[in-house]
Amino acid sequence: MSNRPVDPGRISGARQWQHRFLEAHVDQVRFPDGSEGEQVLIYHPGAAAVVPVLSDPRGPDPQILLLKQYRYAIGGTLWEIPAGRLEPNETPIACAERELLEETGCRCETLTPLTSLWTTPGFTNERIHLFMATGLTQGASAREADEFIEVVPTRLSEVLRMIRDGEITDAKTLVAILYMSGFTGVLEG
């Protein structure tokens, strides 16, 4: 038996399904231990999400814009931040600016990168880049036909309470807000 490291990865596979921006593949893969198996992978172009901050984010209780948005997949509404998928050849920062305008009607003076995350790496390569937008100015929103959104200005203390009490359950929103808030107030009270 060789001690040489095994190079895990795709051996073969084929696209099983495609719709607009998603592709589903069934691949034969080699795992890190050298064994082989089958994996389903949903290819996604990536996305960006943004925490829109109406007031100074370093202030005592900044106000942010939350979205109450209908989501068919869960059969109801979720509290979220503006987000959307990357268009072909679009950078994450350009996507964040576009989604901020489309979903809230706001433009921003500054867009600060927070972090990025893999949404569900067990079956998709979707990665969301998270930003914080400050210096907001109001414009006109341009929502897509399947977007049913209510924009709700909310104090960060209230948003953190909503997270603690399980009212905000959207993963990208949780991570972005906790990240931008520096995790303050979450474990207290």
Residues with a known catalytic role? 147
- Contact between 108 and 58 (Cβ < 8 Å): no
d(CA 163, CA 80): 11
* Pair type for strands 47-52 and 127-134: parallel
Q: Tell me which amino acid residue 16 is.
A: Q
List Cα–Cα distances, 15 to 18, 23, 25, 75, 171, in angstroms.
Answer: 8, 7, 4, 29, 28
